[in-house]
Structure 1
Amino acid sequence: MAAEDTGDYQKVKEAIFSKYDINEEVYRQRFRDPDIRPGESPKEFYNRLKDLYGKWIQPEKKTKEQVGDAIILEQFYRSLTPELQVWVKERGPKSAQEAAQLVETFQAAWRGARSFRFGASAKSFTSHGKSSGVGGGPKELESLKSGDGFVKTKLTTKPAL
């Protein structure tokens, strides 16, 4: 930051947010997984949640449709398997519709009817390549439905014969 810009509050604020990677996603995470601070009253907690919501959604800068799409996109992410959720987020879709298209593209690339939904019964698949790590056998990704309804994924290495 240039020395002459240090007197401009907005530029200083943007530089700090950029340096510490504080963005809408950080506020979304803080809004969705809030911690009640020691000694915090219900009214203070409510006000903090309201502030986090405003910083995440930024309703004054968006239309009603954009606010709705942000909430739909988040719910869409929450429905995906954790691995697919990361894959889609890495591609940075700007809307829920774009995220859905990315999931369809992913499914088409795998050419199967694998479930994309978290908690749904997912098919396991085997990678027939050799690993570069110790053991060197084929790896298998197993999806196991646990008693609580969640799909747990486990990577196992089969011994080389």
Structure 2
Amino acid sequence: MAYRNLDPQDALIYREVKKAVLDQTSINPETYRQRLRRTRFPSGARPRAVAQRIKEDYWRWLEPDQKTGGQVAEEIALEQFGQVLPPGGKEWVQRHRPKTLAEAVTLTEDYMAAERPGVSSRRTDTPSSPGLESLKSS
């Protein structure tokens, strides 16, 4: 079905066919990210087998062969930021599916401001960490 719905030109390109089939079956990078977070070391498992599965899931989640190092780092930072958010804020940010860390920060600030009326959670001074300055321009 996924193949038949493709444009005839795209149907000749393996990557496009693969992407369509995976989309149709709801297998995407997020599937592998969630699988990674559920991974445990099974009793009696071989370390190499567990490590290989983790590596494969990371590659399928982050797709480093298709992205720059900076894009991969952004995805990891975004995912980790989502993990450390307080309850409520975490759900709010995840529901909005930000594509960048800067978007996630803005969503978190908006959520916090809405939860505490009259108290702004947005910073008006300059960030103390040089790495945070890039969030405003991202």
Number of equivalenced pairs:
115
The alpha-carbon deviation at position 104 of structure 1 amounts to 0.7
User: What residue number does 1:10 align with?
Assistant: 15
Percent identical among aligned pairs is 38
* Alignment match of 2:27 (pick from 22, 39, 56): 22
Q: Structure 2 unaligned segments of length 5 or more: list them.
A: 122-138
Deviation at 1:9, TM superposition (A): 4.1
- Answering whether residue 94 of structure 2 is matched by residue 92 of structure 1, we say no
Map residues 70-109 of structure 1 onto 2, 5 A cutoff. 70-109=75-114
Secondary structure of the residue aligned to 1:81 is coil
What RMSD over aligned residues (CA atoms) do the two structures have, in Å? 2.9
Higher relative contact order, structure no. (Cα contacts within 8 Å, ≥ 6 residues apart): 2
Partner of 1:61, secondary structure, is coil
Structure-1 separation of matches of 2:66 and 2:16: 19
Distance (Å, rounded) in 2 between the aligned partners of 1:69 and 1:89? 16
Mapping 1:56-135, distance limit 5 Å: 56-110=61-115, 111=117
Map 1:34-73 onto structure 2 (within 5 A). Answer: 34-36=39-41, 40-73=45-78
Alpha-carbon shift at residue 32 of structure 1 (Å): 2.1
CA distance in 2, matches of 1:58, 1:17: 14
Structure 1 residue runs of 5 or longer lacking an equivalent are 116-161
Alignment CA distance shift 1:112-1:73 (3 Å): farther
How far apart are the structure 2 equivalents of 1:11 and 1:57?
Answer: 18
Partner Cα separation in structure 2 for residue 11 and residue 63 of structure 1: 21
- TM-score, length-scaled by structure 2: 0.67
Structure 1 residue 96: Cα displacement: 1.2
Larger Rg: 1
